[in-house]
Each structure stands twice: as structure tokens, then as C-alpha cells.
Amino acid sequence: MVRISVVGTGYLGLVAAACFADLGNRVVCVDIDEAKVASLKSGKVPIWEPGLQELVARNTAAERLFFTTDYREGLAGSQFIFLCVDTPPLDDGRPDMRRVEAAVTSIAASVTHQVVLVNKSTVPVGTGEWVEERLASGKLAGSPVSVASCPEFLREGSAVQDFMYPDRIVIGCPLPDVAHRVAELHKPMAAPFVFTDLRTAELIKFASNAYLATRISFINHIARLCEATGVDVQEVARGMALDSRIGDGFLSPGLGFGGSCIPKDLQALRHLGRSYGIDTALPDAVLSINRSARAWVLEQVQELLGNCMRGAEIGLLGLAFKPGTDDLREAPAIDIARELQRAGCTVKAYDPAALNKALALLPDLVPARNAWELAEGADVLVICTEWNEFRHLDMKRIASIMRRRILLDGRGVCDPAAMRKLGFVFRGIGRGQAWERGSGQRA
């Protein structure tokens, strides 16, 4: 049984810990958040992620998964320490490295035995080397702590599945025997390995997320062109995706990307470029298009309601930045709600997982327990998150209980023709052709 410690028990760390435990390892999670650790010790998982609650319960019961706030207890006898603390963006886009620094300092003060420190947090290029230097100085000088980088590519909403069945495992480490030991630990996941150095591993993570973001902003740019020219972006995307050089991943037009990773990593990449005097036109454009994607909702509401915005009731279907999670970090729906409230609208919302977290951020948000309560008396409904349950709503019933039947589809969930047949004034991002065909003119 391999002994693993995971430092930082958030969306990444808890999933990694529970999965490693499920693969038969003994895993101890260390976190400074006492409330979170107490909750986990009592069997309550503080985040919403499919399959995670069961995985944590099963492995806690099997005595393979433990939680503590005590570094010494948490790191005792471990062969691998996975660093999974958060690296949120600072105002200038740089990742805030204070938690990484604090965790490395605590690790340095707590280990005296041979161990491999594997960094999974998304960190700037050069961080692994900085950690090596930090650990080689002071009290730990000469101690056998080796450093590796193993960036994580899981997605919230399918995190357990992604962790267990990754497309590739990137291992950055200057020492082949250490890289080999990290690879052994990941063997059950049966994915191809990319063995490389620390800096390359760190940049692969940023480059991957920035590329995905670029695809989303690209198709959102095309969506705008579709609206202007009367073309349906869904057809364009399908026509592009069948080209084997392009493929269909991350080619869904909508309200843009959010979450704690892609926007932050793109900003970090831009900061890296700036710090080396490299042109940042590409990340600048991707971020700017992403900002304007969420502005689409306010533009449509303004155009359709005109002077009647003050007091209008707008219902948001979905708040989380994507389906399958309760994460609201950089969620388009939160910005949209704020803008609509600023314009004098009453904003109601329903989300299967993120509603309580949203109420903490937006105290004036009116919560709805389900889609019907949301639609009752609403002037406009906006689909902000493509939860599966929104794909199967009885839209006839929804139409019958709204005050005005205006439907804005920010996630490509609805069939425009079917919605218009039910009497909705329908607008979907990039669905230009649908507007033209349905009403003879832009609705």
C-alpha cells in the first residue's frame, strides 16, 4: 500500500485523494481549513461533484482515506506528497502564489524522511525549480525531497471520471528514477505518459487551457457573424467539426468560459508573455471576446424590453459555470445577474446545485425551487447553464405560466423552431438563421 499525502483538499485535491485511495493507496489529506476538515471527517463532502460523495464514503470506511489539519500527522511516513492548493489570479493576472509558498514552508518544516513532492496546482513556469531551491536551503538542505510536476487536466462536473481515465499523464521531473516512481503510481489509469522537465510540464498545462479557451472564443466570434448574416452557428460548428483536423471539442457557442481554471490560466499565460516582452494579442482577444459573450444577454433584454426593463422579472435557468458542479467562480450567470439588477430588473434564479452559494454572493437574487417556480410570472427566461434537466423541460407548460414569453438560450439547448411554435420570442446565441426563418425578420 503506497502512502500518499495530499495538501489542499478542494475541487482538485479531494478528487485526487479519493481516487488514489480507491486505487488501493493509503491517503491522508491535509488542509488548513478547519471547517472543511471537520466536515470531511464527519462524512460530509463540502463540494458537489458527481460520484465524489460515494467515493469519499467508501474509502473513509475502508480506512484508506483520512483528513487532518496537522501537517506533521498528515505527512508522517508518506512516500508522495501531492500539492493541490489554490492559485487564484491577482489583479494583474499573475497567479497568487502565497498558498503554494505557505504550503511548501509547512511541508519543509514537517518532513524529515525521503519523499517525492508532486505539484498538481497550476503554477507559473519556473515554480518547480523555485520549490527545489526552497527545499534545498535551510533546515531541509541535503534532505531527500525530490520535486516533480504532474499538472492536472480534470474538469469539474466529470472530475472523478477525468482523474481515473485521463487522456495523458504529464510528468515533469529532472530525475528519471523519480519520474518512473510517479509514473508507477499512475499506471492503473492506463494513459500515455509524457515525460519531460519541470518547466515544460508547467507550460503544457497553461498552453492546453489557453488553447481550449481560444476555441470557445473563436466559435463565439463566428456566432456573432452568424447573427449578423442570418446563419445558424450550430450548423457552422457541425460543418467545421466533421473535419478531422478540427474535431468537435470546445466548439459550442454560448455565454463563454468561466470557472476557476480557464480564465485564470489564460490571464497567467498573458502575464507570462508580457513579462518576456512577447506580443499578447492572442490571449487579449480571447479574453475580450469572452467578456462580450456574457454581455449578449443584457443586449438582448435591452433590445426586446426597451424602456420596460425597470421592474421586469428575469429568470435565470442555471447559475453554475457549467453543468455538474456547484462552482460559481467566474460563472457568466453571476455577472449577468449583477448587470440585470443594475438595470433595474428583478432577477430570479434556479440551479440544481449552486443556488445556495449564489445567494451568498447575490443577496437580492430571488431563489426558485424549480423551473416552474422560476417561470411563473417571468418576463424573460435565460438559459445560462446547460444542465441536462433543462433539455427536457415541458416548455409548453413554461410558456403558459410566463408573463411575457421571451426565451434567451445562452447555451444552445433549445430548438428555435419548436420554441417559436410554442409562442416564445426566441433568441439563441448565433442562431441568426433561426430568427430570420421563424418570423420573417429578427424577432
Give strand pairing partners of 194.
170
Helix segments in 230-350, DSSP class H:
233-241, 262-275, 281-305, 332-342
For ligand NAD, the closer CB: 152 or 313? 152
For ligand NAD, the closer CB: 9 or 234? 9
- CA 44/CA 126 separation, integer angstroms: 37
For ligand NAD, the closer CB: 8 or 332? 8
Binding site for ligand NAD (CB under 6 A): 7-13, 30-33, 36, 84-87, 99, 102-103, 106, 121-122, 152, 154, 156, 260-261
Contact of 385 with 399, CB cutoff 8 Å: no
Q: Choosing from 29, 84, 261, 414, which is the catalytic residue?
A: 261
- CA 75/CA 60 separation, integer angstroms: 18
Farthest CA pair distance, the chain: 76
Cell numbers given for 31:
488542509
Helix segments in 42-150, DSSP class H:
52-61, 71-75, 98-110, 127-136
For ligand NAD, the closer CB: 123 or 378? 123
Least distance CB 205 / ligand NAD (angstroms): 7
Least distance CB 37 / ligand NAD (angstroms): 9
Least distance CB 382 / ligand NAD (angstroms): 25
Between the alpha carbon of residue 287 and those of residues 114, 220, 225, 304, 387, the distances in Å are 43, 12, 18, 27, 24
Q: Say whether 384 is catalytic.
A: no
Nearest position to ligand NAD, beta carbon: 10
Strand 380-383 to strand 145-149: parallel, antiparallel, or no bridges (unpaired)? unpaired
Contact of 306 with 253, CB cutoff 8 Å: no
Least distance CB 149 / ligand NAD (angstroms): 12
- CA 352/CA 375 separation, integer angstroms: 15
3-state helix, strand, coil in the chain (%, to 5): 50, 15, 40
For ligand NAD, the closer CB: 300 or 325? 325
- CA 431/CA 443 separation, integer angstroms: 12
For ligand NAD, the closer CB: 111 or 345? 111
Least distance CB 147 / ligand NAD (angstroms): 16
Between the alpha carbon of residue 275 and those of residues 41, 77, 93, the distances in Å are 43, 40, 11
Q: Where in the sequence numbering do the catalytic residues fall? A: 261
